[in-house]
Structure 1
Amino acid sequence: MGHSKADKAASRDRVLEIAARKVREEGVTRPGIADLMKEAGLTHGGFYKHFASRDELIAQATELALTEGTAKMEETARESEEAPRAGVVDAYLAERHRDSPGTGCALVTLGAAAGRGDQHFKEAYERQVRTYLDLLAGLDGDSEDARAEAMVALSAMVGATLMARAVADGDFSDELLKTVADRLNRRVPGTSVSTD
């Protein structure tokens, strides 16, 4: 690859990464081309050298935003080898995740938009939900109820993070995260009861 082709590819990747962060922070309707290009250090006119349209960029940025979370969740599970499920729950429901939507899980920001989106958007969102469910179910070993427990955990984590970001009272936001994490971590994988 020649120097100019390498530069073009690097510029395209930079715009795509910035757009993915913006999609996680603001959803799919807000990021404007001019602002994205300016943040990437490029001119607005150069956008069409990289993407055919804003819709193409947002579709690719959405895919990237959704899939980038998988590596983070897998890494968290590996780092928490004694209790990988609890490690994932605690990391997901941490104040740091709540306060950093640009680097956080896109399922939280994009849920409502995916519900109103086109088939491609819905399929991309669904792929990521299924990926997380498989990952979480795998952390519970051979339990018959592992998939159901994964659905409960993922739904609770995404919902609690969404609400914790949306409420005005910081103490209440913290309480939402802590309470849901505590309850999920007390659940016994493979059963519908909690340990007390």
Structure 2
Amino acid sequence: MRYDKQHKTAIRQRILDMATLRFRSEGIAAVGIANLMADLGLTHGGFYWHFKDKEDLVAQACQQAMQSVDQQWQQQMQLATPGSKRLSVAQHYLSIQHRDFPDTGCVAATLAGELSRHTPATRQAFTASLQQQLATLASAAEQDGDSDAPP
């Protein structure tokens, strides 16, 4: 039976979502492809229709997770009153909710130590996403009127 493109896209997203959650909560090394796919009710072999290998999944899961955090920061900035955008982001980042649930929290805090042992491509994907987050923080500083904010 052939599946349409939307089905393949939806399955790929389910794999990414589960991997993102499990990598942050358990660590990259602790998550195997076979048990990840089994948790989703999918076969191990089906993984390779969506990703080249585990390293490809790690890079994409990290990017997705960091983009999600960046989007949360941008939402905090939009809701913040003028002059308190950085404070709003910091309060969100340092909240008990963020601290106590690493599976939805900061990727850098939970995975940076492990990522140092991954391929240059994976580290580069992580670094690019981290640079985007830094740009968001710089934007918050600029919007707050901080003249010392980096360009």
| CA distance in structure 2 between the partners assigned to 1:132 and 1:56 by the alignment | 21
Using a 3 Å threshold, how does the CA distance of structure 1 residues 123 and 53 change in structure 2: closer, same or farther? closer
Moved over 6 A (4+): none
* Partners of 2:55 and 2:119 within 8 A in 1: no
Using a 3 Å threshold, how does the CA distance of structure 1 residues 119 and 87 change in structure 2: closer, same or farther? same
SS at the partner of 2:123? helix
Structure (1 or 2) with the larger CA radius of gyration = 1
1:120 lines up with 2:104 in the alignment = no
Using a 3 Å threshold, how does the CA distance of structure 1 residues 123 and 54 change in structure 2: closer, same or farther? closer
For residue 50 of structure 1, report the CA deviation from its aligned partner: 2.3
* Partners of 1:76 and 1:88 within 8 A in 2: yes
Q: Which residue of 1 aligns with 2:15?
A: 15
Q: Which residue of 2 aligns with 1:93?
A: 94
Q: RMSD of the alignment, in Å?
A: 2.2
Q: Larger deviation: 91-100 or 112-121?
A: 112-121
Q: Which residue of 2 aligns with 1:47?
A: 47
SS at the partner of 1:102? coil
State the AA in 1 paired with 2:93.
Y
Structure with greater proportional helix content: 1
Q: Deviations over 1:116-145 (max 9, x none)?
A: 333222222222222222211222225342
SS at the partner of 1:70? helix
Per the normalisation by structure 1, the TM-score is 0.66
Unaligned 5+ runs, structure 2: none
Q: Which residue of 2 aligns with 1:153?
A: none
State the AA in 2 paired with 1:128.
S
Q: State, as a whole percentage, how many aligned pairs show the same letter.
A: 34
For residue 88 of structure 1, report the CA deviation from its aligned partner: 0.7
The structure showing larger relative contact order (alpha-carbon pairs under 8 Å, at least 6 residues apart) is 2
* Partners of 1:23 and 1:65 within 8 A in 2: no
